[in-house]
Amino acid sequence: MNTLSYVTVDVFTSTRFEGNPLAVISDARGLSDAAMQKIATEFNYSEVTFVLPPEDTQNSARVRIFTPTMEIPFAGHPNVGTAYVLGQQAEIFGKPVGDTLRFEEKAGVVEVSLKRSGGKVAAAAIRAPQPLAIGDIIAEETVAGCVSLDPGVIVSTTHAPVFASVGLNFAIAELNGLEALAAARPNLAGFQAAAGHQATSGHDFSLFLYVRTAEIRARMFAPLDNVPEDPATGSASAALGAYLVSLAPEADMNARITIEQGVEMGRRSVITLDVAKSGGIVSDVVISGGCVSVMCGEISLQD
């Protein structure tokens, strides 16, 4: 294999050059783990996906997700974008493409529903592969030190800063307004110090900040993964949405939550969450969003 085909898409948007860019290698057979990591580092996107035949023939594909520094077990925008790309193919490893896909990932099987418009794939919805898990509380001073803010702008009325996951772990904290959110600047030393006290795993310490206005505005910082800021983070949004619904007083509810991210970067993204709660426990989280194609090309593997 001398060359490898790829496509890129912008995810959680319908406007090219907004949303979160993703590179998809739709046939990664023959690539070593080291080669996948080097390719992901070369793209320097927040994630790159590598598609392989499934281990269980009942599933559609095995999808591996790499940041510029490491492989991760699950992420939102890579699943939505990969489903969008594969959904435009006639088949995946010899099997016809329908409107439902199942991706094998390190976090579990991810179920995907394709949304078509005029016969073309326009968006995708994915189901979080794991139930909501809440980890340790994080000191307000730790969060503030990561993003060069005063601890006083952190809101703990609904919840203290905390780790949360539905497949990938994030530190989550609420701020007191859009001015504070806009002022956040990642401080590498602060992230390194925070990571030294991290008791959970999945990837390096990553921080998801949000503000509640009419909807939710968020920013996500992961400089330890060589992602100073991410324009759209479906896995973090899903963890936040699930956590907020879990804290609501109703024992049973279905909530639709819209999260806007990437605005401060000039790459506005819109992430839609549908969260179901039954008997006081969050039972289902679905992440959905649009995509638009951007580039296609070949990677040279040998001279």
Positions annotated as catalytic residues are 47
Residue 262 · residue 18 · CB < 8 Å: yes
Distance between CA 113 and CA 101 in Å, rounded?
6
Q: Which DSSP state fits 140?
A: H
Length of the chain as a residue count:
303
User: Burial code of 19-46, b = ≥16 C-beta within 10 A, e = fewer?
Assistant: bbbbbbbbbbeebeeebbbebbeebebb
Distance between CA 118 and CA 47 in Å, rounded?
29
Longest dimension (CA), the chain: 62
Q: Which DSSP state fits 249?
A: S
> DSSP labels for 33-84?
HHHHHHHHHHH-SS-EEEEE--SSTTSSEEEEEE-SS-EES--HHHHHHHHH
In the numeric block, which tokens belong to residue 133?
């898990």
- How far is residue 187 from each of residues 22, 30, 121, 285, measured CA to CA in Å? 25, 39, 39, 32
